[in-house]
Structure 1
Amino acid sequence: MKTTTTRRSLAGLLAAASIAVLGVAAAPSALAASTDEIAFDYFVSKGLTERQSAGVVGNLIQESGSPINPYANQPGGPGVGIAQWSEGGRWDTDSRDNMVWYAGLSGRSRYDLTAQLDFTWYELSTFSGYGLSSLKAATSVDSATTVFMQKFERCGTCATTQRIAYANDVLRKYGSGGTGGGSTETSLPVLRSGSSGAAVRTLQYLLRASGKSVTADGSFGPATDSAVRSYQSAHGLSVDGVVGNNTWYSLLPVLRQGSTGEAVKGLQRELVDAGYSLTVDGSFGPATYSALRSYQSTSGLVVDGVAGTNTWGSLVD
C-alpha cells in the first residue's frame, strides 16, 4: 500500500452535488465523523476491541486521508480506496482477492464505503497472512496499529508514529473510554435536573472552574440547571440543561501535576471516593499524582498521572 494520497475529482464533484441539492456544507470535522466513525463502529461490530478498531482506522486515515475516502487515488501511483489497494493487484486483478471483483459480487460500486469496509474484513478473515489473529491479540493502540500496518497495508514508507497518532485520536473521539473493550467502565453519566450524587458534585466543581457560582453539594437543582444552560449557551452547545457527552467533553479539563483550582478539587474528591487518602485542597501535587497513577494502574488505564477524558470517564459515575 502507498501512503501519499489525494481525493479523486469525482469525490469533490459528489460533495459539490450534495451541497447543491441540500443547500448546506458540512464542516471538515463533521465530514470526518461521518466516515471515520462509521469505520470505527464497523470494526467494533465485527468483534474487534475499541483499541484494535482504532488501530485499523488510524491506518486507513494515513492511507486515504480524514475523513477516510473511498475515492482516494494515489497521484502517479497504483493506490486506490480507503486502504490504497494497488491497481494491478488487490484493487482489480488478484484472483478472488480484489476490490473490483468483490464489489461486483453484490452489485455494488467499487467506490462504495461499506463495500470497501466489507472487503477489508473479507481479506482479514479469509487470508491468514493479512494478520487478523495478530490484530485480535493486540492489547494496545500502538500494537494494533503496527500489526495492521505491517501485515495488511505492507507499506513502503509507513509513517508509523503518525498512524498511531491518528489511531489514538480516533479512540479519543469515538471510543467509549479507550479501554479496548475491557471491563473498565469509562463512559460518562447523563445528568439533568433532579440528578444527585458524586457525579453531580464533580459537575458542579467543573462549573465552578468555568466561573459559575454553584455549590458543590451533589444536588442538581435550579442553580445547577441555570449554570449548565448558561455554560452550554456560551460554548455553542445545545441549551437543554442536560449534561451528556458533548457538555462533559467541553467541561472536562486535562489535569496534571501543577494544576490548581476547582476542577482539581473535583478530581481529588473522586479519588477520595475511590478509596485514596487525599486532602481536597485544589492543588495537584505529589500525593494527588501518586493516587491518580495508582488508580489508573488498578483500573486498566494508561498510567501517566494525567487526568484526561478516559480517566475522568472511569472516575465519574
Structure 2
Amino acid sequence: MLRKLTVALLPLALAVPVALAAPEVADAQAPAAAQCRRTLPAYPQLDPGDRSEAVRTLQCAINDLGFGPVTVDGYYGPETKKALAPLIGGREGQPPHPYRITPLFWHQLYGLQLPHRTLAQGDRGPAVRTLQRALRAWGLTVVVDGVFGPQTTAALRDYQRQHDVRPTGRTDRATRYFLVGGDYY
C-alpha cells in the first residue's frame, strides 16, 4: 500500500503549482474574514462538516496549492471537499474516510508546496516556513519562523532518520520524495 500511494501522489506532486511567496495573510484587497493563519500549534484531524480555525488553515493551503479558490470561512463543506477532490482522487486504495484530513495529509499538503530545489541551513523565507510546517505536521517540534537554523536542521535530520534517508539536514531529492507523500505511515 505504501508504494501504491507513492506512485499515485508523485505525478500530482510534479503537476501542483507552487505558491512559494504565500503571505501569512491574504492579499490586502481581501476582506478581513479571509485572512489566513497557516501555522498551527498542531495539525488536527478534520472531517467534512467541521467548523474551526484549522479548517480555515486547510482552505488557505488549498488556495496556496492552486486547487481553489475556496472561500476561507472555516467550514469544511461541499466547496472545500470539491477542491480536495484532485488530491483525494489521486490516491490508490481509498481509505474508509477519504475526505478525513489527518496529520499525514497536512504534512503532504505542505510538502507539495516546497520548491524543487534544496533548502539548507542559512536559508530564510516562505519556503523554509513551509518546510517547518510540514515537519510540525509530521509531529516534530520546530519553531515556524522562516529561518533554517540549527533547530530546523536537527528536526529535518530526525525526519530523515525516520524515513531511512541519509541525515543531511537538507531537503535533497530523497527527502523531498517523502515530504510530498512518498510514504504512508
TM norm. shorter chain > 0.5 = no
- Larger RCO, structures 1/2 (Cα 8 Å, 6+ apart): 2
Q: TM-score range by the shorter chain?
A: 0.3 to 0.5
Larger Rg: 1
Under a length normalisation based on structure 2, what TM-score does the superposition of the two structures give? 0.44
Answer 1 or 2: which has greater helix percent: 1
